[in-house]
Amino acid sequence: MLTVYKTLQEKLQEVSFDTLDSLEKGVWVKLTNPTTEEIQQMSASANIPDYFFRFAIDEDDCPRIILAKNCILAIIHVPIFYGTDRYETSPLSIILTPELTVTISDDLIQILPDNNASNRFSFDTAKRTQFFFQILYHADTVFLKSIRHIRKRTDEIELHLRKSTNNQEVFQLLDLEKGLTYFTAALRGNVIVAETILRMRSDPQMRYLLQMHEEDEDVLESVIIENKRALELAQTYSEILSNMMDAFSSVINNNLNHIMKFLASVTILLAIPTMLSSFWSMSLVVPWQGTAAGFWIVLLLALITSGAVGLLLRKKGMF
């Protein structure tokens, strides 16, 4: 799907177009799960090399910067939430041409926030470089938001896991840890992309590809700071989750051992009356045989013996 946006009256608005050749300068072309026809049309109308799109639609491609004569392709990874504590990452490709900003992504990726008023920056598609950095900044904020959600879910699972005797909560922690592993790998690649852009700024031969003003540099610095912050948090919480899984595996085993110990104690207590009643049910001459009080004496003896054994087991910590 191909959608075109432009900043009008300080707001991002979708604009209509007849053909791709008639696109205005300074618009944002959003390609979501593009078809082969849309890619060919975009490549021809915006003079974008074909190999840019081959890299852009490759789901297994790592974050990188690719340069052409008048174009820049930046590939970063952003988090995707699939529900039931499953997090993964997916590539977001951004192509900068002298006139357009083109993004290629999966349909689950939110490239920019919904509400401009709640954001630190105002989005202006005409300022290509700044708009490009704002997309990178939003990707970092999505990482941070996802990491905070993982931390919250970890605390919730921990409360249930303290008394658990099954592996459900451990599997939930495993999914969260797997998501943080994906985040760590993606953020490391995104850091490389940000550092490459930083080197381009200091290289006079590449400045024409990415022209930056002072306010653009401020946004880029924010991108680098948030990127490294998200990476540190992802690594920290990944280590915490790994240690928690080891600890709670032992907790589950201990909880199960307590249950087995309790059941063994109950078995011992039930075995005593059974043993005594078996003695007095044998076809032999036994005390109180044939007397009316014999049943109550045996019952009382069984209760007293079971009570004494129960107190002994309780003293030993079996209950």
20: CATH: 3.30.460.20
Kindly state whether residues 195 and 300 are assigned to the same domain. no
Kindly state whether residues 99 and 163 are assigned to the same domain. yes
Counted domains in the chain:
2
- What CA–CA distances, in Å, run from 167 to 12, 157, 176, 241, 249? 47, 12, 14, 15, 8
What is the average per-residue pLDDT within 116-142? 81
Kindly state whether residues 261 and 250 are assigned to the same domain. no
**For residues 111, 115, 118 and 124, what is the CA-based torsion angle, rounded to 10 degrees?**
70
Domain boundary among 239, 254, 269: 254
Residue 276: domain span: 255-315
What is the average per-residue pLDDT within 184-193? 92
117 pLDDT band, cuts 50/70/90, is very low
Residue type, position 133, single letter: F
Domain boundary among 254, 274, 297: 254
pLDDT of residue 318: 66
Kindly state whether residues 200 and 277 are assigned to the same domain. no
pLDDT of residue 147: 92
Domain boundary among 254, 283, 300: 254
Q: Of the ranges 251-255, 286-290, 294-298, which is most confident?
A: 294-298
Kindly state whether residues 221 and 239 are assigned to the same domain. yes
Kindly state whether residues 216 and 86 are assigned to the same domain. yes
Of 214 and 236, the one with more pLDDT: 236
Kindly state whether residues 221 and 102 are assigned to the same domain. yes
**Phi, psi values for residue 16, rounded to 5°:** -90, 160
pTM above 0.85, yes or no: no
pLDDT at 234 over 50: yes
Kindly state whether residues 260 and 239 are assigned to the same domain. no
pLDDT at 116 over 60: no
Kindly state whether residues 265 and 128 are assigned to the same domain. no
Kindly state whether residues 184 and 79 are assigned to the same domain. yes
166 pLDDT band, cuts 50/70/90, is low
Share of the chain above pLDDT 70, in %: 90
Kindly state whether residues 213 and 279 are assigned to the same domain. no
Of 170 and 205, the one with more pLDDT: 170
